[in-house]
Amino acid sequence: MPMMPKRQFLKAGLAAALPLALWRCAGVPGVAADTADVPRSALDLLWDQADAIERDLARTSFPARTFSVTDFAAHTGKQDDLNTARHNRAAFQRAIDACHQAGGGRVLVRAGVWPCGALTLKSNVELHLQQDAVLAFHPALELYLPLVFTRWEGMELMGYQPLIYAFGAENIGLTGNGKIDGGGSNSSWWPWKGQWKHTPWPVDNTKVQHAGRDLLMQWIEQGKPVAERVLPQNFLRPPLFQAYQCQRVLVEGLTLQNSPFWVMNPVLSEDVIIRRVTVVSHGPNSDGCDPESCRRVLIEHCLFDTGDDCIALKSGRNADGRRLNRPVEQVLIQDCTMKAGHGGVVIGSEISGGAKHIFARRLLMSSPDLDRGLRIKTNALRGGLIDTVALRDIVIGEVKDVIVVNYFYEEGRAGAFLPTVRNIFVHNLQVDKAQRLFELRGFPEAQIGPLQLSSVQVNCQSIGVLEAVGQLDCKQVLVNGKPWHWQG
């Protein structure tokens, strides 16, 4: 997908934001602004839980010490300069280590282009990129070794080090007004996907992810110890940022682009804040933010323009997810804009550990390249309990499918772990243009619901698909200007 010029991109974003602001004041046209028919006490109680997540999050705090990377011999250069990337990887890491050993503070990256390799953040360290600073990761594989304990598509293994990585750390930050470029392109990292969409790269079938992915999936079903999960040939791309088993994590202010794989991926972490981050990454599997098996997560004031899901909440794949048995929970998403992507707010498909108490409000979604608004994807191999998901005050300009709950993703019925999706609430939703309102596909023995829609207005070509839906309650729902009720 060609990159939109910055001025045009910002102009489009501002134009899209204005209707959201006006709509917040005016309400959904054609739908009564009051909620007399909605159990307000129940709604209030539900959204009190969202407010509690924001209130109770533990915040980061860093000592007033500054460690400039130039004091540790780092220097600017060209992104494709491997020697400078090798040098800077060591220099940046020395600065991080010194900051950590001193009790914490800020590692400062000034304006300029800084070629680099994988870095490890440590407790009480804030890596801060000033305006016009670009941390530019070189794709040479030597820069992502040694292998580390990581998770790839919900499966633990010893894999390439994520570009910025933390393991078991507390009080860490990745902040500033600069940019981080992951180095993904049609010639590096992304071709390991193999065939993808229009596949704008030559495919070398000896250097694609499929065999390694299949072997890793076999290992997790066999219960192979994680320390022994070392692929003989590894073509599994690392994420741009992964905080693994960390507490108090902050990512703020930055622009993240061209990630090899998922962009932000906190795993088994608590008290995570993602704020005012712009994600522009149109490569394969370029999910914007994928919290996995995390507790207390706040994602706010972000813009996502991605090649895959904008935000996808996860909790492990198949046997690995059930072994750890840790849901993603207490997540609040608010005041964000979603442009291109497979889905705006997504749960799954790596959801075997479950998801509960997920909240999203005041979101703007719109793009002819946005496939779905709310998407829940699972199957009978993943299983998982998804309970209490609430969205409100959502404006969608253009989207293909508005609400998707699909039990037939990938392997479909080929498993013994029935998914459960229940207590889904959507309130105050406006959709200007959609192909389908629903794709709801459950199993007869594991039906979807309850699902409640209230104060909703959608303009769409068709209602879509509703299969094995147990309960769908509609209050003040207009479809193409006419009241609509489910006749199931």
> Strand (E) positions, 110-230?
112-116, 119-120, 125-129, 133-137, 148-152, 155-159, 164-167, 170-176, 179-181
Which whole number is the average pLDDT over 215-236?
A: 98
For the chain, first and last CA: distance in Å?
40
Give the model's pLDDT for residue 488: 82
Structure tokens at 349: 């498909």
**Beta strands of 182-327 (E only): which ranges?**
241-244, 247-252, 255-257, 270-275, 278-281, 295-300, 303-306, 311-313
Residue 319, pLDDT > 50, answer yes
| 68 prior amide bond cis, ω within 30 | no
pLDDT digits (tens, 9 = 90+) for 125-168: 999 999 999 999 999 999 999 999 999 999 999 999 999 999 99
Q: What is the rounded distance in angstroms from the CA atom of residue 258 to the CA atom of residue 484? A: 43
pLDDT bracket for residue 39 (50, 70, 90): low
Averaged pLDDT of the chain: 93
Is 21 exposed, middle or buried, given 0-12, 13-18 or 19+ CB atoms closer than 10 A? exposed
CA separation for the pair 64, 21 (Å, rounded): 37
- pLDDT per position as a tens digit, 159-213: 999 999 999 999 999 999 999 999 999 999 999 999 998 889 999 999 999 999 9
- Using alpha carbons, list the distances in angstroms from residue 406 to 40, 272, 367, 403, 441: 30, 28, 22, 10, 5
Query: What pTM, to 2 d.p., does this model score?
Result: 0.92
Phi, psi angles (nearest 5°) of residue 112: 135, 170
**pLDDT tens sequence across 45-58:** 999 999 999 999 99
Q: Is the pLDDT of residue 1 over 80?
A: no
pLDDT confidence tier of residue 40, bands split at 50, 70 and 90:
low
> What torsion do the CA atoms of 464, 468, 473, 474 make, to the nearest 10 degrees?
10
Residue 214 is predicted with a pLDDT of 98
Lowest-pLDDT choice from 190-199, 213-222, 266-275, 287-296 = 190-199
pLDDT reading at 32 higher than 50: no
Q: Cα separation of 171 and 250, whole Å? A: 8
How would residue 43 be classed by pLDDT, with cut points 50, 70 and 90? confident
pLDDT grade for 323, boundaries at 50, 70 and 90: very high
Res 340 pLDDT > 80: yes
Average pLDDT over residues 298-323: 97
Do β-strands 355-365 and 164-167 pair in parallel, antiparallel, or remain unpaired? unpaired
Per-residue pLDDT of 81-117, as tens digits, reads 999 999 999 999 999 999 999 999 999 999 999 999 9
Question: Looking at the predicted structure, is the pLDDT value of residue 19 above 60?
Answer: no
Q: What is the Cα 375 distance to its own chain's centre?
A: 13
Give me the mean pLDDT over the 58-62 stretch.
Answer: 98
